[in-house]
């Protein structure tokens, strides 16, 4: 009787080991297939610009067109050069225009520190432009968090900057209640990005890049965007940037950019879009605060225009690129 039980138990154990072996083979096959898919996506989607040696790492800079002043396009939080795919070609007909990827984003490699503060980003941009022999004058165009960076650049390197175009920009001066809402939003996003980052690291995103949502990009840029998210540590760096955003904005606040003097400034504001995971009361408070922040930033210069784009969401450069092109062109013609 005992012998029969042992025989049955041994049979069950052999089946379990067989299942574990099959599962291991399947996981290994999936991983290797994912890595191969990553390699193919990387090979088929090279950087459109140049990789500039920054001393230990390289940053991607994509310049097109000729002329002066040079327009520098600064993407928002978690975004990179492709967010300007509908704007850069049009501006390149008028002057030299450059988009770039902050360290760790897009085609740019991470620096040794991994720090994602606005101040570090601005210093790195200045170094990047120096290495690329782009001295100025510059017209800086910043979207969302990129608006903070462009104002900070103008504060730190005023002699180089001839004008600013801010697109629905973030502002470092926020009330405690609004900061709490932003923090809740950041925590929600980080949770989503962490899951997607795991899928990216094991190659699953590379096996089905078409599942990565369309951000409203042109077809070629969309596939480049999907390739970046599926193959690069972009998502990991997005999480790092979001997690340090509150501290980073405090550092900018300490710089006290209370005035831009008479520096030419055009500010485009979008219509507030409700955030699905916030309450109606929170969305109302956020919309009111965001509108106030836009007005306050428009008053930072005595030579400013504030244009409301009431039929657009946050990404005006993707939803209504011609409005952004017109604003940049107006700045170029009047500075």
Mean pLDDT of 308-315: 93
Query: DSSP label at 109?
Result: P
How many whole angstroms from its chain centre is CA 273? 19
On whether residue 9 sits in a domain, the answer given is no
Question: For the chain, what percent of residues have pLDDT higher than 90?
Answer: 54
Q: Give the pLDDT confidence of 100-114 residue by residue, as tens digits.
A: 999 999 999 998 877
- Enclosing domain of residue 250: 50-333
On whether residue 133 sits in a domain, the answer given is yes
Model pLDDT, residue 37 = 73
Distance CA 108, CA 233 (A): 10
Work out the pLDDT band at 331, boundaries 50, 70, 90.
very high
On whether residue 115 sits in a domain, the answer given is yes
Question: For the chain, what percent of residues have pLDDT higher than 70?
Answer: 89
Q: Give the pLDDT confidence of 227-239 residue by residue, as tens digits.
A: 998 888 888 888 8
On whether residue 267 sits in a domain, the answer given is yes
101 phi/psi in degrees, rounded to 5? -115, 125
On whether residue 6 sits in a domain, the answer given is no
Mean pLDDT of 9-24: 61
Q: In this structure, what token pair is assigned to residue 297?
A: 């930033």
Query: For residue 164, what are the β-bridge partners?
Result: 140, 265
Mean pLDDT of 37-44: 76
Q: How far apart are the first and last CA of the chain?
A: 96
Q: Give the total number of structural domains in the chain.
A: 1
Looking at per-residue confidence, does 115 or 64 come out higher?
A: 64
Mean pLDDT of the chain, nearest integer: 88
Q: In this structure, what token pair is assigned to residue 21?
A: 């072996």
Q: Give the pLDDT confidence of 203-226 residue by residue, as tens digits.
A: 777 887 888 888 899 999 999 999
Q: In this structure, what token pair is assigned to residue 65?
A: 């067109």
Mean pLDDT of 149-176: 94
Model pLDDT, residue 297 = 95
On whether residue 3 sits in a domain, the answer given is no
CATH number at residue 170: 3.40.50.1820
């Amino acid at each position: 009787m005992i012998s029969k039980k042992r025989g049955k138990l041994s049979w069950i154990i052999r089946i379990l080991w067989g299942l574990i072996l099959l599962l291991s083979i399947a996981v290994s096959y999936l991983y290797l297939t994912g890595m191969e898919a990553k390699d193919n996506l990387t090979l088929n989607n090279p950087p459109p610009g140049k990789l500039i040696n920054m001393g230990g790492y390289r940053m991607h800079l994509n310049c097109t067109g000729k002329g002066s002043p040079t327009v520098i396009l600064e993407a928002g939080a978690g975004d990179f050069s492709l967010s300007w795919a509908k704007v850069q070609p049009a501006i390149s007909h008028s002057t030299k225009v450059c988009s770039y990827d902050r360290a760790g984003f897009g085609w740019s490699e991470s620096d040794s520190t991994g720090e994602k503060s606005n101040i570090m980003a601005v210093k790195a941009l200045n170094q990047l432009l120096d290495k690329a022999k782009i001295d100025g004058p510059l017209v800086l165009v910043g979207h969302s968090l990129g608006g903070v960076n462009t104002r900070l650049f103008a504060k730190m390197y005023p002699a180089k900057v001839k004008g600013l175009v801010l697109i629905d920009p973030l502002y470092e001066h926020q009330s405690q209640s609004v900061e709490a809402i932003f923090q809740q939003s950041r925590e929600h996003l980080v949770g989503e990005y962490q899951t997607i980052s795991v899928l990216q690291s094991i190659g699953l995103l590379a096996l089905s890049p078409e599942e990565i949502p369309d951000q409203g990009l042109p077809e070629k840029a969309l596939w480049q965007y999907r390739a970046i998210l599926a193959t690069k540590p972009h998502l990991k760096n997005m999480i790092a940037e979001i997690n340090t955003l509150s501290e980073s904005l405090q550092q900018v606040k300490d710089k006290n950019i209370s005035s831009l003097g008479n520096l030419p400034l055009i500010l485009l504001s979008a219509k507030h879009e409700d955030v699905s995971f916030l309450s109606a009361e929170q969305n109302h408070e956020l919309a009111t605060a965001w509108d106030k922040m836009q007005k306050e930033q428009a008053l930072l210069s005595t030579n400013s225009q504030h244009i409301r784009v009431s039929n657009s969401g946050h990404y005006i450069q993707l939803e209504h690129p011609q409005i952004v092109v017109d604003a940049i062109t107006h700045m170029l013609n009047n500075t």
